[in-house]
Amino acid sequence: MSLLVKICGLSTADGLETALDAGADMVGFVFFPPSPRHIGLKHARTLGERVRGRARKVALTVDANNEQLARIIEALQPDMLQLHGREDVGRVAVVRTRFGLPVMKALPLAAREDLNPIRVYAKVADSLLFDARAPQEATRPGGLGNTFDWRLLENLDPHVPFMLSGGLNAGNVAEALGITRAPGVDVSSGVERAPGVKDPEKIRAFVGAARAAAVGITHDPETWAPMFRKDHAQ
């Protein structure tokens, strides 16, 4: 696989089916009550069963404890955990070891100094996700539709796969990929008609635009493969 496309914040069967039919590689489900995209465990189980191996399932959590993670994993049976809170390096390592699933750690970016944690997180996470830093008054760390200066990621090699997120949509994903050459993109608010309400046309347009933009950008087809092997956990 060259470019991975992730549609996050899915909360309805229609939205999920649209993402799957459009060819999304990953589908993300949010477990964080302040988010308009939050889903409960029962609903997560129902939606997760619809995926049926057509894409990788990602469970997004924010500073969840072990008990919460265990319940989410039991319900969704995710292929990956996305830690989108203030989890430190030690916590990421514990989650990865305890639950035996690939872990994607989200890191907020606004200025060049925000790149400093990449080196240490890359040692414990299977992949990284770069998102726009949320305003201080925000009630959630992501899904706000904000972009950051993509030039921060020019020529970046974090030594693990990474995804670009934060304010992406069908109209700007080509520019973002051209600058960052990211091996993956993640969108949520950029394919919505209202907070938490996915728009089928925007989903299809985003996947199409991302795929078209990736043509001519060379990525190792094995970039993401190791983390989904059964023996990935150390």
User: Is residue 143 domain-resident?
Assistant: yes
| pLDDT tens track for 129-166 | 999 986 565 445 555 568 899 999 999 999 999 999 99
Does the structure show a pLDDT above 50 at 232?
A: no
Q: In angstroms, rounded to a whole number, what is the distance separating the alpha carbons of residues 142 and 132?
A: 7
The answer to whether 144 and 35 are in contact (CB under 8 A) is no
User: Is residue 233 domain-resident?
Assistant: no
Domain ranges, residue 96: 4-228
Percent share of the chain, pLDDT over 70: 92
pTM over 0.85: yes
Of 160, 179, 202, give the one whose Cα is nearest residue 10: 202
Of the listed ranges 92-96, 201-205, 226-230, the least confidently predicted one is 226-230
Q: Going by C-beta distance under 8 Å and a sequence separation of 6 or more, which residues neighbour residue 90?
A: none
User: Is residue 100 domain-resident?
Assistant: yes
Q: Going by C-beta distance under 8 Å and a sequence separation of 6 or more, which residues neighbour residue 137?
A: none
**In the prediction, which pLDDT does 142 show?**
52
User: Is residue 78 domain-resident?
Assistant: yes
Does the structure show a pLDDT above 80 at 218?
A: no
**In the prediction, which pLDDT does 136 show?**
60
Q: Going by C-beta distance under 8 Å and a sequence separation of 6 or more, which residues neighbour residue 47?
A: 10, 11, 13, 16, 29, 39, 76
Of 103, 95, 126, give the one whose Cα is nearest residue 224: 126
Mean pLDDT of 207-217: 92
Residue 171 β-bridge partners: none
The answer to whether 53 and 25 are in contact (CB under 8 A) is no
**In the prediction, which pLDDT does 103 show?**
98
CATH number at residue 83: 3.20.20.70
Percent share of the chain, pLDDT over 90: 82
Q: Which DSSP helix (H) or strand (E) runs through 59?
A: strand 56-61
Read off the pLDDT band of 233 (50, 70, 90).
Answer: very low
Read off the pLDDT band of 217 (50, 70, 90).
Answer: confident
Torsion sign, CA atoms 38, 61, 227, 175 = positive
Read off the pLDDT band of 231 (50, 70, 90).
Answer: very low
User: Is residue 89 domain-resident?
Assistant: yes
| pLDDT tens track for 24-66 | 999 999 999 999 999 999 999 999 999 999 999 999 999 999 9
User: Is residue 81 domain-resident?
Assistant: yes
Torsion sign, CA atoms 120, 125, 126, 129 = negative
| pLDDT tens track for 102-127 | 999 999 999 999 999 999 999 999 99
User: Is residue 137 domain-resident?
Assistant: yes
159: left (phi over 0), alpha (psi -120 to 50) or beta: left
Mean pLDDT of 182-192: 96
* Mean pLDDT rounded to a whole number for the chain: 92
Overall number of domains in the chain? 1
Mean pLDDT of 5-28: 97
**In the prediction, which pLDDT does 146 show?**
80
